[in-house]
Amino acid sequence: MKTEQFGQTADGQKVTKYILSNKNSLKVSVIDLGATIVSIEVPGKDGRLRDVVLGYDDAADYLANDCYFGTIVGRNANRIAGGKVTLDGRTYQLEQNDNENNLHSGKNGFSSALWQLEEYDEHKIKLSYLSEDGVQDFPGNMKAYVTYTLTDQNELIIEYDAETDKTTVANFTNHSYFNLDGHDSGYVGKQELKIFTSLYTPVVDSKSIPTGSIASVSGTPLDFTKMKKIGKEIESDFDQIRFVNGYDHNYSLENDSRKLKQAARAKAAESGIGMDVYTDCPGIQLYTGNYISEHAGKNGATYGQRHGFCLETQYFPNSVNEENFLAPILKPEEKYHSQTRYCFYLN
Ligand code: BGC
């Protein structure tokens, strides 16, 4: 077991980094600030360890930037139209931090909280966070847990658990940006991706609120039903691509029954590193880092637009308001549980 200090929060609380490892030399580092994954080191085909997620060297950089590198997002990942949520007949106005909409729940959310350590050993870390009644304008005291497990089969399993004392929203994701050639390798356009569905939720315009329909990707640049280079059609003159400057779309996994199933596969030719994604969530957001501005990352790296891609497992964007979509509502008599697995291998 290994821990290191990782800087501090704005009010001077110590941030700690916890390292997980397995028998195949994989290493995953997690900090208690935002229950954030700060690195995932995987051996490439040349035997060299590559860190395949974007991140920073210090807590202060996580607090100063708004990319959500590796953080847990809650209580609600993605967008809510107008920042309005109606629960048990009462409407709550959330922060309007993305045009008139709410994105990733606004400030003071899961991603900037200092989580409590519940359990830690070489393969596993469990963290908890109490999001109090009224924080971010959500009702109910919500106790949330995130558990990361690194297995000897090279799977990183993320489990989410939560309970609440009032009906509220529960839609968590991990916001890691992957670059399977290494976090400092630049544009991810040559890396290949497959998404295991032909359905997605089109957005109305550049503000990225879904229309409410579920459409086929067939014949569009959003089609990743077969392995395809991420960059192949990223500049297409197709309205859904133009709206968001690349990919920033939710795919429907047709998973209302919440069974663990494969959602995506990605691979990089140069490192030989492949990754399979499994989840029990109804949706997965492909975001190609379209809005990463040029700035300094960990170990002297410079990051920029499209230097990483996210595969954010989630309920659909604005599902809290959209009748056609499964709603991410948690009631006091229920317990939330969800899991996503990122599995690494050599091609
Ligand atoms: C959203 C993007 C946003 C990014 C960083 C992603 O989940 O879909 O639109 O720019 O997070 O906040």
- Edge-to-edge strand order for the sheet containing 14-21? 2-8, 14-21, 27-31, 36-43, 49-51
What pTM was computed for the model? 0.98
Residue linked to tokens 């609120």: 209
* pLDDT tens string 7-34: 999 999 999 999 999 999 999 999 999 9
Q: Record the tokens describing residue 143, joined without a space.
A: 């106790």
Q: Record the tokens describing residue 30, joined without a space.
A: 């997690």
* Alpha-carbon distances of 169 from 36, 142, 245, 280, rounded to whole Å: 21, 10, 29, 17
**Residue 308 CB coordination number (10 Å):** 29
Instruction: Give 118 Cα–ligand 1 centroid separation in angstroms.
Output: 29
* Alpha-carbon distances of 88 from 48, 92, 137, 167, rounded to whole Å: 54, 11, 15, 7
Instruction: Establish whether residue 285 lines the binding site of ligand 1, counting it when its CB lies within 6 angstroms of any ligand atom.
Output: yes
* pLDDT at residue number 347: 82
Instruction: Give 246 Cα–ligand 1 centroid separation in angstroms.
Output: 12
97, 101, 291, 295: which to mutate for ligand 1, most atoms within 8 A of CB? 291
Sign of CA dihedral 180, 305, 67, 231: negative
- Give the CB-side neighbour count of residue 51, counting CA atoms within 13 A: 17
65, 69, 103: which to mutate for ligand 1, most atoms within 8 A of CB? 103
Q: Ligand 1, atom 4: nearest CA belongs to which residue?
A: 67
Instruction: Give 221 Cα–ligand 1 centroid separation in angstroms.
Output: 19
* pLDDT at residue number 2: 87
Q: Record the tokens describing residue 71, joined without a space.
A: 């953080």
Fill in the amino acid letter for 188: V
**Residue 55 CB coordination number (10 Å):** 27
Would you give the DSSP letter of residue 246? Answer: S
* pLDDT at residue number 231: 98
In the chain, which stretches have pLDDT less than 50?
A: none
What positions carry a catalytic annotation? 175, 312
Closest CA to 70 of 119, 21, 33, 115: 33
Q: Record the tokens describing residue 336, joined without a space.
A: 């939330």
Q: Ligand 1, atom 5: nearest CA belongs to which residue?
A: 67
**Residue 14 CB coordination number (10 Å):** 13
For 321, left (φ over 0), alpha (ψ -120 to 50), or beta? alpha
Q: CA 219, CA 142: separation in Å to the nearest integer?
A: 43
Q: Ligand 1, atom 6: nearest CA belongs to which residue?
A: 287
Instruction: Give 86 Cα–ligand 1 centroid separation in angstroms.
Output: 23
Judge contact between 129 and 110, C-beta under 8 A.
yes
* pLDDT at residue number 238: 98
